[in-house]
Structure 1
């Protein structure tokens, strides 16, 4: 039944994607971020829905004449250079014969990110994308929160198999990054019942993150909560909610959750923490040996660890977006990766500054603030997870840069309107000129 339902939804979207590529982008985001086919058990589980949706969207780009404008900003230029550099580093990969699967998956995601920036150009498109992300990931956040409450926090929350958010730690970070987007919708939604539902969803996402038993998620949710408060327009109600809710959630969790969180202070005795430090040491040593290109994709094997890791026998994934990029693409790749985040934050500052005190642009002001909060969650929680290529952070970039471009276009349009309404120099008639001469002679 699930297989049929998912297939029917995709078939319903496909013709709309050809007519309106922006709808195709929403379909692509839904499939690639939520992975709804992974919730089925039959033919849909491995069916290439994402590829078909991407093909329909690209066909729409060819046959339609919708407005397209790519935002050329420092953030988007950094993203393009980062994509190009990953292709360069792949040519020099240590395990070149093993990288195609990872390379192909990552390039598809990032290519469609660039397509999204070209296609989405209206306020409605921006809101569509926010809602698509919220529905796609909010499903797992709300479901995980309910599961945690019902089970008394006794079991770990996991994501859909075969996706970036399959692991408990990854799903936790995704739901934490989603909370600011829920907050944005709650601030801008007109219907009271939807606003109340979004508040409930925010709380359940927080519960789901705690139910993941992820220590990195605990750090991320603390940082996110603080910046969410500082960036919110109505600080007092939010502060009161946090004061009541956070202690209750922590007290609700069982003793084994508290024991695991306490291992943050005793990481020297924790095998998992030591494995991460060993993986970071491997990435650092590899980057020192190959500073420009790193080791390429698929470097987490016995041979690479035997050559570069402090403990050659302790093979682990990168467990850090920063060391993951450093080990795979060298210092150049890490610089470009961090430049994307830095310039996206700068774009947020520009949006906040340009929309301050303008009620009609309050939505953009709130969106930029919440996107920055989501960036903070990714920057802190990602320090302990291998999620450098997860879709959501790149769609945060899309939302920020498309919003900036939309505002710039609005400013240019307003300037043209003002210029067209400004009266120009009036031509003096010959009769008026003779009067002026007589008055000048009399004054002389």
Structure 2
């Protein structure tokens, strides 16, 4: 029965695409984020729905869509360069079979991220994609939030509809992404036009934000707690009454503390004592190994190059009994340990060139969103949504980049869609300023915006 529901919804979505071709783009976003083929038992898991959705989206754009407003941005060129470089390292990978398996989905994610900004030519399309991304992620987050309220969750225990750790269904990944989309939710609650802001939109928005904050608790992912801290600092930047904001944040944390599961507080306590935790100690060890590996393989070892590591991990536990401190040191050995960091993932797999390209894409996004944020924050009321969305995308990317310090999500499809949204917003604003002599500052003329990045 569940299979029939997913098939019916997907078929209805595809059917509407033949009337409004841009909906094929949203259909691909749904398939890529929610992955209904993993949620069904037999109907969709044998059909290449992702490839079908991507083909329909690209064909409809090529045959039907108006391309006069489409623009190529420099960061699309960087994404293409990263795609070609990943292909090159895959050819000479240390582990060709495993590398080819990862390459199968990496090239699709990068290719669609390059294509996506070409379709984002209007405010409605930009907002529709942002809304769809939030709602697709919400379908996973709401399930996790309800289960957390009901059972308290647990590390490796919280089931998010599927039993595998792929995509957003991996606990640390969904913890980071759930916090990263909160700024986007706040933007849609204030400036949305698909669902105009009213009490129902605000109620759902705040409920979804609450569910997002529950995900790090339910998964007990330390990355999520760090991301919450980053979010709190970023929101402080635009708070009108900062002292009141800090007081409310501190009060909320104090009120929530007694209700947190004991297993969650114990696991979060290991953040400051990583040497006592086997998982954290092995991460540091693999980062050291990757650093040394890159010195000998500066061009990278291809996807899954970590499979060649052999680690010696020293675990230190300290117990205090009265005035006496008892230190216990144990040696553990590990091999083929994953990177657990997007930065070391890029360094080990794509070498220094790949890491440089990836960092340029990320930092370029932060910079371009800051440019738009400052340019349009005092604009006419009907254009302030640009500054709000730029701030939301910038904050979301900053949270992603901090979370990526501890998760190997360098080429995460959802994060790539956020980059595509940034590029689409940037090219839209640049085109309005240049082609339509747009006046962003209360009717005062300004110098045309620089080329989008």
Same fold (TM over 0.5): yes
Aligned to 1:424: none
Give yes or no for contact 1:321–1:387 (8 Å, CA) kept in 2.
yes
Aligned to 1:297: 303
Aligned to 2:211: 204
Aligned to 2:335: 314
Aligned to 2:135: 135
Give yes or no for contact 2:366–2:398 (8 Å, CA) kept in 1.
no
Equivalent of 1:362 in 379, 384, 390: 384
Aligned to 2:317: none
- The structure where helix makes up a greater share of residues is 1
Aligned to 1:157: 158
Give yes or no for contact 1:19–1:64 (8 Å, CA) kept in 2.
no
Q: How many pairs align?
A: 412
1:334 aligns with 2:355: yes
1:181 aligns with 2:184: yes
Tell me, in whole angstroms, the C-alpha distance in 2 between the residues paired with 1:6 and 1:234. 46
Matches within 5 A, 1:187-226: 187-189=190-192, 190-226=197-233
Q: Could you say what secondary structure the match of 1:229 adopts? A: helix
Gaps of 5+ in 1: 418-444
1:276 aligns with 2:287: no
Tell me, in whole angstroms, the C-alpha distance in 1 between the residues paired with 2:225 and 2:45. 32
Tell me, in whole angstroms, the C-alpha distance in 2 between the residues paired with 1:352 and 1:416. 16
Tell me, in whole angstroms, the C-alpha distance in 2 between the residues paired with 1:233 and 1:360. 21
Aligned to 1:388: 410
Aligned to 1:432: none
Could you say if the C-alpha distance between residues 71 and 241 of structure 1 is closer, same or farther in structure 2, counting changes exceeding 3 Å? Answer: farther
Q: Could you say what secondary structure the match of 1:43 adopts? A: coil
Gaps of 5+ in 2: 314-332, 440-453
Report the alpha carbon displacement of residue 249 of structure 1 after superposing the two structures with TM. Answer: 3.0
Report the alpha carbon displacement of residue 103 of structure 1 after superposing the two structures with TM. Answer: 0.5
Give yes or no for contact 2:90–2:100 (8 Å, CA) kept in 1.
no
Please list the CA deviations of residues 49-87 of structure 1 after superposition, one character each: whole Å capped at 9, or x if unmatched.
111111211221332142365544343332222122111
Aligned to 1:259: 266
Aligned to 1:14: 14
| TM-score of the superposed pair, with normalisation by structure 2 | 0.85
Give yes or no for contact 1:35–1:163 (8 Å, CA) kept in 2.
no
Q: Over the residues paired in the alignment, what is the CA RMSD in angstroms?
A: 2.3
1:166 aligns with 2:169: yes
Report the alpha carbon displacement of residue 120 of structure 1 after superposing the two structures with TM. Answer: 1.5
Matches within 5 A, 1:7-86: 7-18=7-18, 20-67=20-67, 69-86=69-86
Give yes or no for contact 1:158–1:212 (8 Å, CA) kept in 2.
no
Give yes or no for contact 2:38–2:45 (8 Å, CA) kept in 1.
yes
- The structure where strand makes up a greater share of residues is 2
1:345 aligns with 2:351: no
Aligned to 1:110: 110
Aligned to 1:123: 123
Q: Could you say what secondary structure the match of 1:264 adopts? A: helix
Report the alpha carbon displacement of residue 239 of structure 1 after superposing the two structures with TM. Answer: 4.9
Tell me, in whole angstroms, the C-alpha distance in 2 between the residues paired with 1:402 and 1:237. 35
Tell me, in whole angstroms, the C-alpha distance in 2 between the residues paired with 1:310 and 1:325. 23
**Which protein shows a greater Rg?**
1
Report the alpha carbon displacement of residue 33 of structure 1 after superposing the two structures with TM. Answer: 0.9
Report the alpha carbon displacement of residue 176 of structure 1 after superposing the two structures with TM. Answer: 1.2
Report the alpha carbon displacement of residue 348 of structure 1 after superposing the two structures with TM. Answer: 0.3
Could you say if the C-alpha distance between residues 406 and 234 of structure 1 is closer, same or farther in structure 2, counting changes exceeding 3 Å? Answer: farther
Tell me, in whole angstroms, the C-alpha distance in 1 between the residues paired with 2:65 and 2:43. 36
| TM-score of the superposed pair, with normalisation by structure 1 | 0.86
Q: Could you say what secondary structure the match of 2:44 adopts? A: helix
Tell me, in whole angstroms, the C-alpha distance in 1 between the residues paired with 2:417 and 2:242. 27
Tell me, in whole angstroms, the C-alpha distance in 1 between the residues paired with 2:70 and 2:258. 48
Tell me, in whole angstroms, the C-alpha distance in 1 between the residues paired with 2:405 and 2:68. 36
Could you say if the C-alpha distance between residues 249 and 9 of structure 1 is closer, same or farther in structure 2, counting changes exceeding 3 Å? Answer: same
Give yes or no for contact 1:68–1:121 (8 Å, CA) kept in 2.
no
Tell me, in whole angstroms, the C-alpha distance in 2 between the residues paired with 1:326 and 1:2. 42
Aligned to 2:431: 409
Give yes or no for contact 1:38–1:162 (8 Å, CA) kept in 2.
no
Give yes or no for contact 1:188–1:363 (8 Å, CA) kept in 2.
yes
